[in-house]
Structure 1
């Protein structure tokens, strides 16, 4: 968040806070079965699961129209790359935690949002909610300021350099200010927001185990695919087996926290229905309850197989001709048309757990 920029003595009363910008890539992995993201909808994707609910909560608590989950996600990515350790999330200027708060600023915005009895800037919930409150306040200031330009840009500049600098320049500080740190900070975050913008939350009607499983799986939309990763407890790192789990020649599964296709299904139905781990085993456990393609209901399982008959993929029917699944390495948990989710010629059949 902020890397305090050297205060100018002539400007009295300005509380300067700045940020050390961190840029990096979010690793997405592997291969043949599923992908990981985080949200499960709600207009957010590509965010670590431990951050997702807090980002959505911070967004919901802000009534400013310019606030969206992707804005907070892109800002966190720029600030810390979603890192939380003291070693990785402490700037050279002393900014702390995933939202990079300077101690003085944290004293104003930090609260015990996660209810664990403490309120350090290292706690994900505390940090994200403080970030959301501060950005919400800055968005309101920007809206009421009368300054030209995008209110999000003005708010981000205020977060990075302090609102006093925005007032001084009547807008985002120019490239000449602080070697372009604030200017570039704003531009990078606004340009990377799109990578975190996900589909709207999947609406699931009805009741019963199928609908409940679909609702649960939908909360994981956007979670990265990790071959061999995930299980009843949620996403986890996977593994490579010589064929699967690789991305551009590198084993991505071992460093990606996510689901593959069958672990997503297992997670969705657990613990009410304890399905086995692999797609082939899940088909074997439910094949006695086959469902025709014309009689599909939300929560039904759909399977695809090779010409040999080996079941290699499973998805959950999401209604309206769509499926929710973890497709393959390099992708994420997503909703896709049944007709194009996997090769049509490989469609094997459907079952109802």
Structure 2
């Protein structure tokens, strides 16, 4: 593999930086928030990505309305830019895993990880800015009328600047910049399948039916951030904070985090085959006529925890088999697989139902 910008190609990167966007190294459990918008955007799964990048890639995907955006698309671009190296620096001065130059970072950089610093070398800040820029470019590509895959056009705009895409009315040819942009697009597009995946190897789901299908849908969202009040039947969304929930490090994380809380993940997973209510207690009420003993649990069954009685149910998870659950635990965490005994306090376990 030889996609690193060498000294011999440094002048190309510098030239691109002058008129483009990026110089490249070529290489708290439940909230009531109803939403009737069910236009779906399936983001797809993700694999072969470093653990620290996984939730941010999923978050960046969830924040974009364009279905052409997928986690694997962003991951393939990050791999090409930096090999997932947060400290990467190009000869043109581009920095971080998404290789932003100063001018572009000034426009797109934000403190997405809420650590008090806006930094290109912060994985959260860089990946979210990459996603925001790529989402904008996808919108331009789709409205441009140019022939070709909008994903390829957007990648060309990220690499060479949208002005070059307009100049060539498509991806710049091999003759442009010694094939820099052309090869960049080809390599990223060809590598996307390498990063596509359903369950990151954590859970294997067999069979079909209401429960297994819902479980697959939930597992497809592993790594999606928790957002109190966030999540709809169509996918992740920002949430809100009340007096006690949705805060992280003293700031209202939920209002700027696209994700799920525990019950919206369950609602999303079963929708539209089974249209469950929005909150955990209501989900229990809707399904309580089909209780399931602990030794009879099947994939996709709903597990509930309570502080005492049906009115105090505060958490719901989907049974994933082998004594494990998939759930959205709390602010600061992501959709994850955990042992059932460690998901919530064992003394709070209330029971299980089968939708």
Pair in the same fold by TM > 0.5: yes
8 Å CA contact 2:319–2:325 kept in 1: the answer is yes
Q: Which residue of 45, 59, 67 maps to 2:55?
A: 45
Which residue of structure 2 lines up, in the alignment, with residue 321 of structure 1? 323
For residues 205 and 78 of structure 1, do their structure 2 counterparts lie closer, same or farther at Cα, with a shift above 3 Å needed?
same
For residues 304-339 of structure 1, what are the alpha-carbon distances to aligned partners after superposition, in whole Å with 9 as ceiling and x for unaligned? 001355110000111111111000000001111111
**C-alpha displacement at 1:293, in angstroms?**
1.0
Which residue of structure 2 lines up, in the alignment, with residue 304 of structure 1? 305
Q: Which residue of 103, 108, 113 maps to 1:88?
A: 108
Q: Aligned pair 1:260/2:257, yes or no?
A: no
Give structure 2 stretches of 5+ with no counterpart.
32-42, 49-53, 89-95, 110-128, 160-177, 181-198
Query: What secondary structure, in the 3-state scheme, does the structure 2 residue paired with 1:234 have?
Result: coil
Query: How far apart, CA to CA, are the structure 1 residues paired with 2:85 and 2:296?
Result: 40
For residues 300 and 248 of structure 1, do their structure 2 counterparts lie closer, same or farther at Cα, with a shift above 3 Å needed?
same
**C-alpha displacement at 1:46, in angstroms?**
2.3
Query: How far apart, CA to CA, are the structure 2 residues paired with 1:15 and 1:347?
Result: 61
For residues 302 and 313 of structure 1, do their structure 2 counterparts lie closer, same or farther at Cα, with a shift above 3 Å needed?
same
For residues 285 and 46 of structure 1, do their structure 2 counterparts lie closer, same or farther at Cα, with a shift above 3 Å needed?
same
Query: How far apart, CA to CA, are the structure 2 residues paired with 1:55 and 1:260?
Result: 20
8 Å CA contact 1:54–1:125 kept in 2: the answer is no
**C-alpha displacement at 1:220, in angstroms?**
1.1
Aligned ranges 1:29-68 → 2 under 5 Å: 31-33=28-30, 40-43=45-48, 44-47=54-57, 48-50=60-62, 54-57=70-73
Query: How far apart, CA to CA, are the structure 1 residues paired with 2:82 and 2:296?
Result: 37
8 Å CA contact 2:44–2:71 kept in 1: the answer is no
Q: RMSD across aligned C-alpha pairs, in angstroms?
A: 4.8
Q: How many residues align?
A: 250
8 Å CA contact 2:61–2:71 kept in 1: the answer is no
Which residue of structure 2 lines up, in the alignment, with residue 330 of structure 1? 332
For residues 129 and 53 of structure 1, do their structure 2 counterparts lie closer, same or farther at Cα, with a shift above 3 Å needed?
farther
For residues 92-117 of structure 1, what are the alpha-carbon distances to aligned partners after superposition, in whole Å with 9 as ceiling and x for unaligned? xxxxx94899xxxxxxxx999x8776
Query: How far apart, CA to CA, are the structure 1 residues paired with 2:346 and 2:274?
Result: 28
For residues 125 and 323 of structure 1, do their structure 2 counterparts lie closer, same or farther at Cα, with a shift above 3 Å needed?
farther
Query: What secondary structure, in the 3-state scheme, does the structure 2 residue paired with 1:56 have?
Result: helix
**C-alpha displacement at 1:246, in angstroms?**
1.1
The worse-fitting range, judged by mean Cα deviation, of 304-313 and 268-277 is 304-313
Query: How far apart, CA to CA, are the structure 2 residues paired with 1:42 and 1:12?
Result: 31
Which residue of structure 2 lines up, in the alignment, with residue 92 of structure 1? none
Which residue of structure 1 lines up, in the alignment, with residue 223 of structure 2? 222
Query: How far apart, CA to CA, are the structure 2 residues paired with 1:13 and 1:49?
Result: 31
Query: What secondary structure, in the 3-state scheme, does the structure 2 residue paired with 1:45 have?
Result: helix
For residues 257 and 227 of structure 1, do their structure 2 counterparts lie closer, same or farther at Cα, with a shift above 3 Å needed?
same
TM-score by length of 2: 0.57
Give structure 1 stretches of 5+ with no counterpart.
23-30, 90-96, 102-109, 133-161, 165-197
